[in-house]
Amino acid sequence: MTAFTADRAFSGFSVDDIDAAREFYGKTLGLEVSDNPMGFLDLRLPSGGSILIYGKPNHEPASFTILNFPVADVDAAVDDLIARGVQTKIYSDEEFPSDERGIVRGGGQGPDIAWFRDPAGNVLAVMQA
């Protein structure tokens, strides 16, 4: 009997359209995405981690941030995302006061951060690191 081990652990999340996810994560964000034998997507991160993206017919978007991208310059990252067609202002100013591009300034209380959604409505973020 094999004991529990976390050696090959990975995270995963659902989407409602595998093809749209492949396009968004692979083409729009420029990440390494491959099809796996089970009909899911494997998302390989430059840090070496991997994430399983699976289709789910009754998918409900995550109401929390499922993937964070630390960046050296959040303003430049947001400009780049907007140029790629990604909407970065997804919350109202009542929820998270932000500038017109959706950047919430941490002001010493946390990092400068901007959230955006994938085609399935899941929340992602770029944050000043």
- Residue ranges, comma separated, of all CATH 3.10.180.10 domains in the chain are 10-57, 65-129
**What secondary structure letter does DSSP report for 28?**
I
CATH number of 10-57: 3.10.180.10
β pairing state of 65-71 and 41-44: unpaired
> Element (H or E) spanning 19, and its range?
helix 18-22
Of the candidates 64, 70, 66, the residue with the CA atom closest to the CA atom of residue 110: 70
CATH for 65-129 (3.10.180.10, 3.30.450.20, 3.40.1190.20, 3.40.1350.10):
3.10.180.10
Q: What is the pTM of this model?
A: 0.91
Of the candidates 64, 46, 55, the residue with the CA atom closest to the CA atom of residue 12: 55
**Residues 31, 44 contacting (CB under 8 angstroms):** yes
Confidence (pLDDT) at 6: 83
Question: Could you list the pLDDT tens digit for every one of the 129 residues in the chain?
Answer: 678 888 888 899 999 999 999 999 999 999 999 999 999 999 999 988 999 999 999 999 998 999 999 999 999 999 999 999 999 999 999 988 999 999 999 877 889 999 999 999 999 999 999
